[in-house]
Amino acid sequence: MADAADAKQTRQDSGKAGLDSLLALLGDDMKRVNEIILEKMQSPVSLIPQLAGHIVGAGGKRLRPLLVLASARLCGAEGERQMSLAACVEFIHTATLLHDDVVDESDLRRGQATAKALWGNQASVLVGDFLFSRSFQLMVSDGSLKVLKLLSDTAATLAQGEVHQLMTANDTETDETAYLEVVRAKTASLFAASCQVGAQVAERPEAEEEALRRFGESLGMAFQLVDDILDYTAEEDPKLGKSVGDDFREGKITLPVILAFQRGEEAEKTFWRRCLEDQDLRDGDLEHALGLLALHNALEDAKTRAFAYAEDARAALAVFPEGEIRSALLESVDFCVERLY
């Protein structure tokens, strides 16, 4: 038992070290990114910086801008272009969070009241639009049509992913392919662009650009799968940004549910339909759902898929020489998947 506990602690420390290493190497650059973020979210309309500041300062990991900076550093980029583009990526991400909370009717994020809960739907949507606009101003200011195309295409993909998710919401007939398409569009596309743009800034060969795109996409896929698994496995922790079982209570169709539903008998499918489609929740339903997930090995199989994406992310970096930044990026993969332990 002691060995197992030590191994678990080692994995937790390794995961934490993933972002600590990136922050240690890129701290000065991230300081400049945060300055740009604060500068660009200002407006004479006082509600805009007030609401934007609430979500920007809510304690997020800034993982996506970190990936921009790390990828640029890995490719030998100099100057400040990557810092403005890192701020751009964070604005895109923050705008989607504001819109997500409205669509999902969420009152809490990372244990704090959402902008939607504090200021209402209209203000959240409109300030999200403002941040999207700021992101496009930063893209244009960069001056590269290649960068503009990548990030604007990504913004469109994100929006398509949101709509696709809305179409599959509470639909137990959603299959794994459709689920993965949503994750690829809604989450992994911005991870991929964050890494790819670093290579573009450094004007690196196409092979390196593609390697970083693949790294980011695979990391994003693993990241979201882990989030979906944690909803059914993690201990109650406000740092997760949600209570355990929130996805179940909201009727979200995630990979563990898809696997259990497809493998279940008709009586089990009727249970899932009542809970997720009809939103008819009763005492003991979450515990019963957990039992069905265990019965059909759904959580373990979802973990296997997450680990496979993580391995693909690690493999994608093989084209780059060893060094501190590459090691830190590899540790960021550990940060992603070791949250399961």
Q: What is the longest distance spanned by two Cα atoms in the chain?
A: 61
pTM over 0.95: no
Tokens linked to 6: 């030590």
H-helix or E-strand containing 150?
A: helix 145-168
Q: What letter does residue 298 receive in the DSSP assignment?
A: H
Residue tagged 């970190």 (tokens): 66
Separation CA 337–CA 309 (nearest Å): 10
Contacts 24+ apart (CB under 8 A), 306-310: 306/221, 306/222, 306/225, 306/226, 306/229, 306/337, 306/340, 307/222, 307/337, 309/218, 309/219, 309/221, 309/222, 309/225, 310/218, 310/219, 310/222, 310/336, 310/337
Q: pLDDT tens string for the chain (341 positions)? A: 334 334 334 434 444 456 899 999 999 999 999 999 999 999 999 999 999 988 887 766 799 999 999 999 999 998 999 999 999 999 999 999 999 889 888 887 766 888 888 899 999 999 999 999 999 999 999 999 999 999 999 999 999 999 999 999 899 999 999 999 999 999 999 999 999 999 999 999 999 999 999 999 999 999 999 999 999 997 655 454 556 788 999 899 999 999 999 999 999 999 999 999 999 999 999 999 999 999 999 999 999 999 999 999 999 999 999 999 999 999 999 999 988 87
Contacts 24+ apart (CB under 8 A), 42-46: 43/130
Closest CA to 155 of 114, 200, 197, 214: 197
Domains within the chain, CATH numbers bracketed:
7-340 (1.10.600.10)
Closest CA to 98 of 119, 120, 61, 125: 125
Q: Which residue type occupies 133?
A: S
